[in-house]
Amino acid sequence: MTLFFHTLVTWIESSKYILLFFGAIFEGPVLMMASGFLYHLGEFSFLPMYCALVAGDFTADIGWYCLGRYGTHAFIFKHSHLFNITEETLQKMENLFKRYHQKILIISKLTMGFGFGHIVLMVAGIFKVPFKKYVILNLIGGFIWTFFLISVGYFLGNIYVHIPAPAKIAFICIAFLVFVFGIRYLNNYLKSKEI
């Protein structure tokens, strides 16, 4: 059993940037903040960590764009409970998108979509925003957003090193829960507002 754990730890250590990439596809913001925290503790080198996180988040965003562009309205609305999208939301987004799609894509990336992040990315595909423009705008926002969340994690790591040893685990748990529930509360609050 000890050999198994030793092998597992060695594999995780040697694959940590690949794991960051795949993790960022599924849960970018939390992982970005945790990565900043671990970077402060010396577990990552900045550039490969940063590039893996941006690339993973970007890959997820391309997936949402392709779903909007190549998926059908019928498929999207059949599974609307998965996407949290309604005909009314789509109409609101269409009206805004036709006039301000460049600003919307940048601002959405920097604000997690005001609670509609994946919908904004799907709508960009539905309304056929040129792919090159989508990629450029998404990457600009992604580089800024990723750096911001890494910085938040790094700041928490700075606090962590000054906390007495018995309280370190409690600090990590509380910081993680505050961040996750804070993000969810903000998303739910923004979704309840009119666009």
Structural domain of 154: 44-192
- 62 in a structural domain: yes
125 half-sphere exposure, CB direction, 13 A CA radius: 18
pLDDT the model gives residue 79: 64
Question: Which 3 state secondary structure label does DSSP give 79?
Answer: coil
- 33 in a structural domain: no
Domain count, the chain: 1
State in Å, rounded, how far the first CA of the chain is from the last one. Answer: 55
- 154 in a structural domain: yes
pLDDT the model gives residue 194: 47
- 26 in a structural domain: no
Q: How many whole angstroms separate alpha carbon 4 and alpha carbon 142?
A: 37
Q: Which of 143, 142, 114, 127 is nearest to 65 (CA)?
A: 127
- 91 in a structural domain: yes
Confidence (pTM): 0.74
- 8 in a structural domain: no
- 141 in a structural domain: yes
Q: How many whole angstroms separate alpha carbon 33 and alpha carbon 145?
A: 11
Consecutive sets of 10 residues in the chain, 195 residues long: mean pLDDT of each? Answer: 69 84 86 88 91 94 88 66 66 73 75 62 82 89 90 81 73 74 67 53
pLDDT the model gives residue 29: 81
Q: Which of 44, 138, 42 is nearest to 32 (CA)?
A: 44
- 157 in a structural domain: yes
Whether 54 contacts 143, CB under 8 Å: yes
Q: How many whole angstroms separate alpha carbon 187 and alpha carbon 164?
A: 34
